[in-house]
A and B are shown apart, each in its own frame.
Chain A
Amino acid sequence: MTDIKSKASIGFLTVVADAEHGLFGGYLVVNPAGRPLEFHCTAPVKPNRAQEILYGPTLEPYLYGEQIGQTLVRKATHEVLAVCTDRQPVLAVRDFVSVPVALVLPPESPQAVPSATELDNSAFGLRFNLPHAGGRLLTFELGKNRLAVPLGADSDRALIAERLDPLVNGFDLLEPFQRIREAIEEARRGGAAGQWQ
């Protein structure tokens, strides 16, 4: 456990949708004190019309998780104990990375997680969302934080609880996403164009 505390870092991954430019991905790696170690952000990603039609409801998990999420997580040089996200489609990144991924839920809005019943009653959900986005979620609490993993990812839940529990006491896991959004906005304003890799 000491090793985890002294060497560990946590990844925070989110995607910001901009109506004009497209999707901006941001990935922040922090140490247990919350201090930034590295930050990666994408140029705007915009799906074309064919992708929108053919991917249908699976487009978000594809772009958020498989494309943007995977690319960003692999850019990081620090190993992380877990990746946290505040966007459910980003959970799809779990199929492409070796660390557990958790969705951080707002404490006051339990309705943010669709219930299994809602999904079962939706032909839309049955047909696309469940297999791709892991529409059903398994929620759990860690300190004052509410987290969720895709239903069936019990091992991830156990792993996250074991790894993050010593660190998150007093740590608001939703807070870093605000930093990422501000940093993405700053990078957009700060003329990052032309410096993308």
Chain B
Amino acid sequence: MAIEPKPGLNGLSVIWSWVPPAAPEVSRVELGLQVEPFLTGWNRAIARGTSVASYEVALKQAPPRVVTIRIRPPAIRVRSFRFPTPLDPALSPEAGHVGQVCAPLPVSGGPATRIAPPADVVKLEDRLHYLLQPPLEALLASHRLGFPRRPFPYQLTGIAFLYPRFSAVLADEMGLGKTMQAVTAARLLVHAGEVRSLLLVCPKPLVANWHREFALWAPELPVAVIEGDQSRRRWQWGLAEIPVKIANYEVLQRDREVFEPDAAGRRLHFDLVILDEAQRIKNRASATSQAVCSIARRRSWALTGTPVENSSEDLVGVFEFVSPGFLSPQMKPTRMGQTVRDYILRRSKDQVLAQLPPKLFRDAPVELTPEQRATYDLAQNEGVLRLAELGQSATIQHVFELVLRLKQICNFDPATGASAKLERLEADLEEVAASGRKALVFSQWVQTLAELGRRLGRFSPLEYHGRVPPSRREAVVRRFRDDPDCHVLLISYGAGSVGLNLQFAHYVFLFDRWWNPAVEDQAINRVHRIGTEGPVTVTRFLAIDTIEERIEAILAQKRELFETILSGAEGGCKLGLSEAELFGLFNLQVPTSVASAAA
């Protein structure tokens, strides 16, 4: 192809945009045309011969340059975790629901109670195992496990607290359902295949209660109560096919050798041991504590409404079972509270049961009758004088005897039977009976209760204390509940402070005061608990200007200690009822012999 070049105009560049890459080789062809110019004289140049110039352009292009980008798939690195296969026997469709069925637990869109891994679980696989558990609401619903009633949200929180823990103290206030929470958490662990053997240890009067609670909240779990003579008990301890065993503290002490290794080095082992009323082991040196701590176990749960009864050492004793060596008596209460925070769950009714009726405290200070006052003053003067005479040989026992004597006079004058408290109580009980309500009257002495029984006959009082045989006690409670003429249950702190559900009563009278406010709380909570209808009125009798007032001041200090440890609040505390305080009740110094013995 020949293209005639276009010369530039007036020095400007060519108007074609395309320029040959190199100067073409130009060939010239003479056309040889004859030109005959007219002789005009204009320009002889046109007389020259005509020719056409041409050149060649190569159209062949160089191949385009290619850039290759390799797209490799990203490297996917995976971490895998595999968990134990749950048993979930209730999942088969044939199993249907196990136990009674309450309304379905909310699952979709409802509140979700999650199981959080405890702080002391450090292995990632273990933490994920707990973290990946479904919300309790979903777990309970999908299990088709029946419940006699829908658990309260705070109870689900308690179950979620216990479930992942190998060391735990559930210290809810009495009446919030620690039993149900412990049974349900244990039930889920059994179904998850994490617990195959469980030992529940409780005070003897509560064995039947725990048996009932297991039947109610975990009816599919076989339960054996360890009881009977030694050979029978030994046989029961060996029942491997029964996952749940219930024993009382006394049986545990008697059967201590069961927990020791045999000749082959094998020993009875439990995946979970639950202690009810765990304050029973607050004294680490006691035979009960040593028997409990000798049990080989993986998980240790303690249930108590009063982890601190008298001093912070009580909690050290409980933790000797829960997590041996975790606490020491030298720890300050505030530090102790911080240390155990992840191990203890404590809720009060005020915190979690907004719907529970109020508990109204009414202090009833009474002036002793003249007869009582005379007897009291005489007894006190003589007693103090005697203590002073004893001097260095005075013991705590001497002081206790005097305190008890004076407290009994505050109840009744032994000579005349006069009682300012009784007069006030009778007036109150008239109202109780007139309204068709029922009341509990607590005292620490059976003798006082018996006297009250005689004097309050028109209210058809019933008695529940250590002298009532255990076999008759349930009938007493049943009659108190069902007989509309029975308005008063006379009950001792010792027999009636734990394990009784008396929420059909509305009034509690503390005729005399116990040494420990925790025991008083337990007594009050026989009435003020889930199921209570209407407010509960608690009347605390206090004889003015007597030993009772001075003891009350010490009880207040104990409450302060309890709050310091369990709430983590700052502030000092004083240990309750020390030797010095006991002697101080009568303005006496602790004898040197007692002080050195205590040290």
Contacts and interface: CB of A to CB of B under 8 A. Distances in A.
A2 B92 contact: yes
Nearest to A50: B69
A138 B82 CA distance: 34
Contacts of A71: 76, 78
A91 interface: no
A35 interface: yes
A175 B138 contact: yes
B251 interface: no
A196 B78 contact: yes
B86 A35 contact: yes
Interface string B71-92: 1011011111111011010011
A195 B79 contact: yes
A36 B107 contact: no
B500 interface: no
Mostly, the B contact residues are loop
A186 to B, nearest CB: 6
B556 interface: no
Contact of B132 (A1, A183, A196): A183
Contact of B91 (A5, A46, A170, A176): A5
A40 B142 contact: no
Given A36-B83, A40-B81, A179-B131, A171 B138 contact: yes
Contacts, number: 142
Contacts of A183: 128, 131-132
Nearest to B128: A183
B83 A170 contact: no
Contacts of B135: 175
B109 interface: yes
A46 B132 contact: no
Interface stretch (A24-32, A113-121, A125-133, A155-163): A24-32
Contacts of A186: 124, 127-128, 131
Contact of A51 (B71, B78, B133, B134): B71
Contacts of A196: 77-79
A109 to B, nearest CB: 13
B107 A41 contact: no
B142 A171 contact: yes
A51 to B, nearest CB: 6
A67 interface: yes
A56 interface: no
Interface range, A side = 35 or more
Given A36-B132, A43-B77, A197-B78, A6 B141 contact: no
B92 A6 contact: yes
Contacts of A190: 124, 127
Interface residues of B, number: 39
Contacts of A179: 131-134
Interface in A148-187: 166, 170-172, 175-176, 179-180, 182-183, 186-187
B108 A43 contact: no
B91 A197 contact: no
Contact of A33 (B88, B93, B132): B88
Given A34-B142, A35-B192, A39-B81, A54 B129 contact: no
A6 B88 CA distance: 10
A5 B76 contact: no
Given A35-B86, A46-B74, A170-B107, A40 B132 contact: no
Contacts of A43: 76-79
A171 B107 contact: yes
Given A175-B112, A179-B133, 11 more contacts: A28-B132, A31-B86, A33-B143, A34-B134, A35-B134, A38-B83, A50-B71, A71-B76, A187-B124, A190-B124, A190-B127
Interface of A: 1-2, 5-6, 25, 28, 30-43, 45-47, 50-51, 54, 63, 67-68, 71-72, 75, 77, 107, 144-145, 166, 170-172, 175-176, 179-180, 182-183, 186-187, 190-192, 195-197
29 contacts: A2-B94, A6-B92, A33-B91, A34-B138, A35-B86, A35-B134, A36-B128, A36-B132, A36-B133, A38-B81, A39-B83, A42-B76, A42-B78, A43-B78, A47-B74, A51-B71, A51-B74, A145-B108, A170-B138, A170-B142, A171-B107, A175-B112, A179-B131, A179-B132, A179-B133, A180-B132, A186-B128, A186-B131, A197-B78
